[in-house]
Amino acid sequence: MEKDVKNRLQMASERLLAAIMFTDIVGYTAMMHENESAAAAVRQRHRAVLQKAHERYHGEVVQYYGDGTLSIFKSAVEAVECAITMQRSFQEDTPVPLRIGIHLGDIVFADNEVYGDGVNLAARVESLGLPGCILLSDKLNFSVKNHSSISTQSLGHFEFKNIKDPVEVFAVTNSGIKVPLRSELKGKLKENKKSIAVLPFVNMSSDPDNEYFSDGISEEILNALVKVEGLQVTARTSSFAFKGQQMDVREIGTQLGVAHILEGSVRKAGNRVRITAQLVSTVDGYHFFSETYDRTLDDIFEVQDEIATTITNRLRQHLGEAQHEEKMVTVPTLNIEAYETYLRGLFYANQFGDDAAMTKAIPYLEKAIEMQPDFVFPCERLVICYFFQSMSGKMSPQETRSKMTASIEKLNELGVETASGYFAKCVFEIFVHWNFTAAAAIVKTGLEKFPNAANLYHIVSTLYWIRGDMADTCRTHKQGLDLDPLSIEMIFYMGVAHLWTLEYEEATPHLQKVLTMVPNHRAAQEYLGWIAAFQGQYGEALDIFEKLEPFGYRLHRSTCLGWTYFKMGQTEKAEIKLEELKALHQQPKGVGLVIDLAVLCTGMGYFDLAFHYLEKAITNRIGSIMMFRGDPLLTPLAVDSRFEQMIELVGEVPELNF
């Protein structure tokens, strides 16, 4: 069979996309030393069961090597079903201690050898396993996750030798299959021992409205830990995703990719507050410390500093490093009433995607500044709140510019103290001033002070995006995503970045993951439609585009449909959609559709009109048009000399060394 497969690969092509399976008998060498005949019988049984299962599920053995095999399948589902059948068979009679790893990727055949990144990764996944288990790469799991006969669970992300990025590994959990704990793989993986997530402290007060206070305390401790050099701190968005959930810390650690969890509770009554905090290992559940602090609100910043310092030093002690007593929390205001008002505003400001919540946040933040004019924290948050209100159409561009400018001037006067402050200043410089040089300088300083700030990596990736350097966009955004792995925004933009580099297999899982978290996420739906359209799957693209809400994050539904109709040769339908857009553009709120017109005119080959609308969008600084250089829907214009003129209108982004 092995010879037939090699001949087929040689005749077909040198490269093949397949489900790649590696198997290996654990401890076979020791078996040989102990009893050669018994070991040979195990090996013979292994091959007999494997060949029978492969025939049933249409797998092809490419290579036998000692006590292991490399095989391929056209179907990811059949590959997993084959593995399940084999493992169940190996539990009968004399057990065969087999581990199996499967990955979906490229296989290359040349010079009588089979190799490729896909083969290497499949081998790494298999080597991670234990006898009786079946491990899958994230790409393979994505292909089978909706199949009713297969159940899996994530074991978290793992770093493999000679594999560029960490890979999320899944274990098959069907009956009869060994499901390893991440702790059982402890000796096989590279753990980042200096990593932590701060879960939202539980509000234990009699008044449920005090939740704003317990959330705020958690976030302030997290912000203090972000300053610690060499400590990986999961961003708030991801750690707060577990709010209200009763989950084992080991499972949370797996999902967030951290070695430690800080959890606790807050009980507030009048001017008194009781805070409990405990630091737990996500590998084995070991409690490093658990403390209770009874204080008055006047001492709240002292408590935050004490908790952050204790955590840092306990981790340093655990790692054999010298302890320090540096001050980790500065006192932002002596006005405790202003601080509580700020925390109320912060509670709503953190509810991204909820326009009503953002509207509630602004009065509290403005009130906190009124109560304490030199209080910097609410100034930082107001900049972002105003920006999101503008993006959602609840504030005019003129009002947004005025209010953001006033807050930034106040922020510059008081000085930036947090990662959020640097993020706010970067957003202002990029989207209001289009001053990319200033934004680059600000984010550089911000990352030097707060190397764990996920949102600052998002800024860096945005600057690369404006330059049109999509490879660096993906690289730096991935750094932010690693720090904030459950952030819908970070996951979404990771998918978009891969789409703009035409890496469809990389983009699809991220966009699909967004839809599992937010099923009606319009932008993720739209981009999945573009993936289908770019690959010539126009029927599938139309099915997606026709179900879109007319307005949303990116392009109007008519734009998507018109572009697809034109590519299908249905020119009359495309022209109708173009006229629809022109009519909508003339309406009072149709200014944003100038980008849609540029995109659709480009797709239909009307380059003169496309440049007219593109220039109009750039001149009026509409939306995120400054990022047009790498947009695959507009890059057909790059063959025209006017494209360089548009780049000059946007302005130059400096050389970035991040």
The pLDDT tens digits of the residues spanning 501-538 come to 998 988 998 999 888 888 888 889 999 999 999 999 99
**CATH number assigned to the domain comprising residue 14:** 3.30.70.1230
Of 459, 444, 453, nearest in space to 483 by CA = 453
Q: How far is CA 335 from the centre of its chain?
A: 38
- Does some domain include residue 564? yes
Averaged pLDDT for residues 319-342 = 71
φ, ψ of residue 163 in degrees (nearest 5): -110, 125
Q: What is the pLDDT of residues 49-70, one digit of tens each?
A: 999 999 999 998 888 887 889 9
Radius of gyration in angstroms for the set of CA atoms belonging to the chain, rounded to a whole number = 28
Q: What is the pLDDT of residues 539-588, one digit of tens each?
A: 999 999 999 887 766 788 999 999 999 999 999 999 999 999 999 888 87
Query: In terms of domains, do 306 and 415 share one?
Result: no
Query: In terms of domains, do 376 and 304 share one?
Result: no
What's the rounded Cα separation, in Å, for the pair 655 and 658? 10
Query: In terms of domains, do 262 and 295 share one?
Result: yes
Domain boundary among 160, 188, 216: 188
Range among 171-180, 254-263, 303-312 with highest mean pLDDT value: 171-180
Q: pLDDT at residue 287 above 50?
A: yes
269, β-bridge pairs: 272
Query: In terms of domains, do 142 and 99 share one?
Result: yes
What's the rounded Cα separation, in Å, for the pair 501 and 496? 9
* Long-range Cβ contact pairs of 534-539 (< 8 A, separation 24 or more): 534/499, 534/502, 534/504, 534/632, 535/504, 536/567, 538/564, 538/567, 538/568
Domain extent at residue 288: 195-318
- Does some domain include residue 17? yes
Query: In terms of domains, do 178 and 237 share one?
Result: no
Give the DSSP H/E element, type plus range, for residue 603. helix 593-603
Averaged pLDDT for residues 184-211 = 76
| Strand positions, DSSP E, 344-396 | none
SS3 195: strand
Residue scoring higher pLDDT (143 or 229): 143
H-only helix segments in 133-191: 138-144
Query: In terms of domains, do 229 and 168 share one?
Result: no
Query: Encoding tokens for residue 130?
Result: 């234990």
- Does some domain include residue 205? yes
Range 137-176 burial, b when 16+ CB lie within 10 A, else e: bbbbbbbbbeeeebbbebbbbbebeeeeebbbbbbbebee
Query: In terms of domains, do 441 and 585 share one?
Result: no
Q: pLDDT at residue 419 above 50?
A: yes
Domain boundary among 416, 449, 482: 449
C-alpha distance from residue 531 to each of 468, 501, 511 (Å): 19, 11, 10
What's the rounded Cα separation, in Å, for the pair 252 and 236? 14
- Does some domain include residue 529? no
Q: pLDDT at residue 188 above 70?
A: no
- Tell me what pLDDT residue 535 has: 93
Q: pLDDT at residue 1 above 50?
A: no
- Tell me what pLDDT residue 326 has: 66
Query: In terms of domains, do 205 and 153 share one?
Result: no
- Does some domain include residue 324? no
Query: Encoding tokens for residue 18?
Result: 């397949």
**CATH number assigned to the domain comprising residue 410:** 1.25.40
Query: In terms of domains, do 649 and 565 share one?
Result: yes
Averaged pLDDT for residues 248-269 = 84
- Tell me what pLDDT residue 316 has: 65
Domain boundary among 381, 415, 449: 449
76 within 8 A of 19, measured Cβ to Cβ:
yes
- Does some domain include residue 436? yes
- Does some domain include residue 325? no
Residue scoring higher pLDDT (446 or 216): 446
- Does some domain include residue 579? yes
Q: pLDDT at residue 141 above 60?
A: yes
Averaged pLDDT for residues 322-350 = 77
Query: In terms of domains, do 130 and 218 share one?
Result: no
- pLDDT over 90 percentage in the chain: 36
- Tell me what pLDDT residue 181 has: 78
Query: In terms of domains, do 88 and 205 share one?
Result: no
- Tell me what pLDDT residue 193 has: 67
Query: In terms of domains, do 396 and 300 share one?
Result: no
Residue scoring higher pLDDT (162 or 139): 139
Q: What is the pLDDT of residues 68-86, one digit of tens each?
A: 899 999 999 999 999 999 9
Averaged pLDDT for residues 184-207 = 75
In this prediction the pTM is: 0.70
Q: How many structural domains comprise the chain?
A: 4
